[in-house]
Homo-oligomer: A and B are copies of this chain.
Amino acid sequence: MAENSHHHGDLRNALIDSALALLTEGGRESLTLRRAAARAGVSHAAPAHHFDGLEGLLHAVAARGFQVFSDLMRQERAARPADAQNQLLGITNGYLRFAAEHEALFNLIFSEPMKNSGDADLIAASNEAFQILSETCALFEPDPAGPFVNEIRVWSTVHGYAILRQFDRLRATPDSAVVPVDLVLPRLVPRQRD
């Protein structure tokens, strides 16, 4: 039995949980190796045995973040009718909910240190999220210019929209209404069912 100081049990996941809590409460700048360790009830050097420094912890948190991201998109998609237009709207709604309700996490997973990470878990989680959007785009006729164009058009648009919303740039004047996503998304043609 692990009664005393050594051998926590599942410290790795406990540290990720602590890090996620810190991120949610105080944003990226308040997420610190030492703070995550302290919150997990462990010494400041303990995380080094489970992550490759701070960056390693951030990668693990980001991988977890992508899972939340995927879950939200799937959840919103499942809650709508099966036609292409509604399914796509579900995906974008999940995308935007994640950006709004997990802002710090959203900013983290698309931040500088996540590029070319090499972290296998992070890459897998990232690919999974991207595939969800991709398979939903497959409900539409492929763009004449190529098979991958629909994905990129939708994805670019909704991602840019999320960022612009963070900067409150989605209205003409401070008192006007926010332009809804529906009006911004490209209009794709649903695939013919024969």
Contact B112 A184 (CB under 8 A): no
User: Which residue, of A145, A147, A159, A166, has the highest number of chain B Cβ atoms within 10 A?
Assistant: A159
Given A28-B112, A167-B110, residue A160 in contact with residue B155 (CB < 8 A): yes
Asked if A157 is at the interface (CB within 8 A of a chain B CB), the reply is yes
Contact B115 A167 (CB under 8 A): yes
Asked if A158 is at the interface (CB within 8 A of a chain B CB), the reply is yes
Interface residues of A in 165-194 (CB under 8 A from B): 166-167, 169-172, 176, 179, 183-184, 186
Question: Which residue of the partner chain B has the closest CB to A145?
Answer: B183
Copy number in the complex reads 2
Which of the residues B29, B114, B152, B156 comes within 8 Å of A156, measured between beta carbons? B156
Given A112-B27, A148-B171, residue A186 in contact with residue B186 (CB < 8 A): yes
Give Cα A187–Cα B180 distance, bound, in whole angstroms: 19
Asked if A78 is at the interface (CB within 8 A of a chain B CB), the reply is no
Which of the residues B114, B115, B157, B183 comes within 8 Å of A160, measured between beta carbons? B157
Q: How many A residues have CB within 8 A of the partner chain?
A: 39
Contact B172 A147 (CB under 8 A): yes
Question: Which residue of the partner chain B has the closest CB to A126?
Answer: B167
**Shortest distance from the beta carbon of A24 to any chain B beta carbon, whole Å:** 14
Q: Which residues of B contact A159 (CB under 8 A)?
A: 156, 159-160, 163-164
Q: What would 19 A/B residue contacts be, using CB atoms closer than 8 Å?
A: A27-B112, A110-B163, A110-B167, A148-B171, A148-B176, A149-B179, A149-B184, A152-B161, A152-B164, A152-B179, A152-B184, A155-B169, A156-B158, A156-B159, A156-B163, A157-B160, A158-B160, A160-B160, A186-B186
